[in-house]
Structure 1
Amino acid sequence: MVLTDSLKKLLIETAYQLKGAAKRKFMAQAVQGLGLGGQRLAQSELGWNRDTIRKGIRELESGITCFDNMSAKGRYKAEEHLPNLLEDIKNIVDSQSQIDPSFKSQRLYTRLSAAEVRKQLIEKCGYSDENLHTSETIRVKLNNLGYKLRRVKKVQPQKKFPQTDAIFEQLDIVNMDASEDKSVLRLSMDGKARVKIGSFDRGGKSRDGTKADDHDYNPKTTVTPYGIFLPEEDELFLYFTESKVTSDFIVDILEDFWLEQKHRFSDIQTLLLNQDNGPQNSSRRTQFMKRIVEFAQKHQVNIRLAYYPPYHSKYNPIERTWAILENHWNGSILDEVETALKFASTMKWKGSHPVVKLVNKTYENGVKLTKKAMAQIEKQIERLTDSTHEVFPNLGNWFIDICCRKTKFI
């Protein structure tokens, strides 16, 4: 049988208008009418798939019709219909973000939603409203490309002091030396934000239908967690106080820790304290320096203070433990101090529970020494200065050595 142009056109258009089993039956009947070699001819001249033709012939000969489960196959991906869709979405999102009012960059003030991205695809990339997929599909594509909705991360420090890089370099040296020296025990210390005690929502989720007050006014009390973390041993010690966190409080919990744990560290001659240079434990805080010198002399252990630069305390290892604590007790009601302590004691860090204590002492804020008294303290400490270190000058506020025998040991 000869396939004329008009016949080929008729067969192609008829098959195109049919679907599923009806289409296969028509193709099978047409191929049978072509005679020997009909399948090959239909493939080459009409563009029909030979597997589809064979399936139609089997259905025709057996009298059994196969119904395709098309719904189980799912739909074609949007990018198969629109090959440039993903690249166009990336170009739109990458070029638009919030900037400062000084217009120092090319970015725009835009909060991009899926609907906004779809609108810009139509306006800027030439897509038509009829052919472009819905906003829900655009949202899925945004998520798949990594542009998921997430909170703004606090990763940029507010300020960078001129000595910041030098402080970090010196910190690396001090901390590395401590990890290699068996006579030095490194402690990471810092406090967490105050926690309101009451029937308040902490933003977490619960399976037991816990209900909280709709406002967090007038808490019963507040507690501040303060931690001592041992990076080399991955051990955590948490102290809670309803009082203010003062210089005396910080040294008191350090002393409590050392009295309880020093039997484990009989070879330790020096305690390296990693802290932020906050107002209560700064190396210029007279009461803190007085107490830490007294601690060294009383317990006959050298103290090395190594502070993180201002606005960079998040790099202190203790900071990593606070997120675990938050995730552990969020979704629960901390309506009593005892409840907060119980939750803290059941959290796990690296598979182990922390040691948790409540400090009941009330501390007075604002205690300080006279200039004359502080001058005597300065004689008992050694600051890292121009005269003691040539590579990192002017770091005396961040690196201090205190010898228990009142002799220099830098």
Structure 2
Amino acid sequence: MLTKAPPEILSPEDLAYMSTLNERDRRWFLATKATKASDLKAQGLSYRKVSKIMGTSTHTLQNGRQELLSGEGPGDGRIRRAGAGRKSVLPQHPEWTQAVVQIIEPHTAGLPQDENVVWISLRVTQIMSELSAIGYDISRHFVRQILDSLGLRERSFYKDLPMKEVKSRDEQFQRISSIREEAKAVGLPIISIDTKKKEMLGNFKREGKALCNGPLKSLDHDFSTFSDGQIVPHGIYDVTRNVGYMTLGISHDTSKFVCDNIARVWREHLKEQYPNACTLVILCDGVGSNSSSHRIVKQDLMDLANKLGIRLLMVHYPPYCSKFNPIEHRIFSQITRSWNGAPLLNLQNAANRAAMTTTKKGLKVHVHINSKNYDIKRPIDESYQKRLARQVVFAPELGKWNYLVKPDN
């Protein structure tokens, strides 16, 4: 849009207003202005001169004026009449498309899992350079149009394929769904637990941006030897109430660390929210401190059940499926946003920023600092097998992922 029009034809306010209009409304607005401007005989302005000053064609102004006088626009809420507008030049030059196909063919790769999915290892600028070398001087705009006509658009790979096929994967997901529905129907607390990746404390760069009045600088290397310690963020998410409980540890991610966090959250929060509950449903993955096969984990869970005096219904997600655990996308993704943009300078700084986490759906996060040190090598009690027989009841089907831990009364 040209801005050389005198203010009596198009004022700065008119130009600002036009920038908010679509093509049809802009055509009508200019036609109205042109009709008024053409009446300025004293300046010797004709309709043709006005259109030139406005930077548009006489044909456009005449169409706009005719639509206004007749009250008949493009119709059906359209901006242009069907078939109107500048025609694409690509159908007139099929050799362009053929040239692009020949250029990208040697650089095309695909997925062995899906023969219909392919991608190319060339950038648009490289394709333009190859076209120029064979005599086709084609702009980036038209190269993108050609690629689009071939079904090629810029996309990102996303993590979706499991590392390997897991037997009974679908059956476990169906069981998880039914357990959640039954627990919710009778008012049992359902928590989702996991440990987020460890974070280094200190002036280290983090993703994201922050509001500031000058350049922000951090260390040029993320070496742990220059850190002021690390935090072990463990999360507990109340699925029903949409409330998160983050514990920031300073030691190791062990099953004892996890059980201590659950015990504290139960006593300080969940017991009051679910006064009649005698069973706590726990959703978790099956590795690390939540391992479904390690004996030390079950030993600590039995101790936890004895300490709290309630039953623990353990439900593990199948291998390679931890991303479906609710806490991953309901808590951890939001905590990451709160921590991004500025370094985690110290433990209290990390806790304060995590506590500020919220969402439009009303998520609340309570944060606690656990300064206890945890051993990573602890022995299994001699009475483990006897206690296991008394306290743990495995489900008849998929018992390795579903079992009930009872207090040893």
TM-score, structure 1 as length reference: 0.69
Residue 25 of structure 1 corresponds to: none
1:153 paired with 2:163, answer no
Match of 2:355 in 1: 345
**1:369 and 2:380 aligned:** yes
| Residue 196 (structure 2) aligns with | 192
What is the alpha-carbon distance in structure 1 between the residues aligned to residue 92 and residue 280 of structure 2? Answer: 60
* Equivalent AA in structure 2 for residue 129 of structure 1: Y
Paired residue secondary structure (1:319): helix
Report the Cα distance in structure 1 between the residues aligned to 2:56 and 2:352, rounded to whole angstroms.
51
Report percent identity of matched pairs: 21
1:216 and 2:222 are equivalent in the alignment: yes
Unpaired runs of at least 5, structure 1: 1-50, 386-392
1:270 aligned to 279, 291, 307, which one?
279
Bigger Rg, structure 1 or 2: 1
When residues 306 and 122 of structure 1 are mapped into structure 2, their CA distance, relative to the original with a 3 A threshold, is farther
CA distances 1:246-292 after superposition (whole Å, capped 9, x unpaired): 01001000000011011221121210000000132223322221222
Q: 1:324 aligns with which of 298, 317, 334?
A: 334
Gaps of 5+ in 2: 1-30, 58-83
Determine the structure 2 residue equivalent to 1:48: none
Within 1, Cα distance between the matches of 2:221 and 2:107?
Answer: 37
Deviations 1:228-258 (A, max 9, x none): 0011110000001110010100100000001
Alignment-mate amino acid for residue 379 of structure 1:
R
SS in 2 for 1:205: coil
Tell me the CA shift for residue 139 of structure 1: 5.3
| CA 69–103 in structure 1, closer or farther in 2 if over 3 Å, else same | farther
Letter in 1 for 2:180: N
1:84 and 1:185 map into 2 onto residues whose CA distance is 66
Partner Cα separation in structure 1 for residue 250 and residue 118 of structure 2: 47
Q: Which moved further from structure 2: 304-313 or 341-350?
A: 341-350
Aligned residues: 332
Root-mean-square deviation (CA, aligned residues, Å) is 4.0
Q: Match of 1:159, SS?
A: coil
Partner of 1:296: 305
CA distance in 1, matches of 2:354, 2:148: 35
1:220 to partner: Cα distance:
1.4
**Local SS of the residue matching 1:250:** helix
Supply the AA of the counterpart residue of 1:186. I
1:351 deviates by 3.1
- C-alpha distance in structure 1 between counterparts of 2:191 and 2:88, whole Å: 56
Q: Relative to structure 1, is the Cα distance of residues 256 and 372 closer, same or farther in structure 2, using a 3 angstrom cutoff?
A: closer
The offset of 1:313, in angstroms, is 0.4
Q: 2: CA distance between counterparts of 1:214 and 1:341?
A: 25
Matched, 1:172 2:191: no
2:409 equivalent to 1:401: no
Amino acid at match of 1:334: L
Counterpart of 1:47 in structure 2 is none
1:314 aligns with 2:323: yes
1:84 and 1:191, CA in 2 relative to 1: closer, same or farther beyond 3 A? farther
Identify the match of residue 242 of structure 1 among 237, 240, 250. 250
Cα separation, 2, equivalents of 1:153 and 1:173: 29
What letter matches 1:279 in structure 2? G
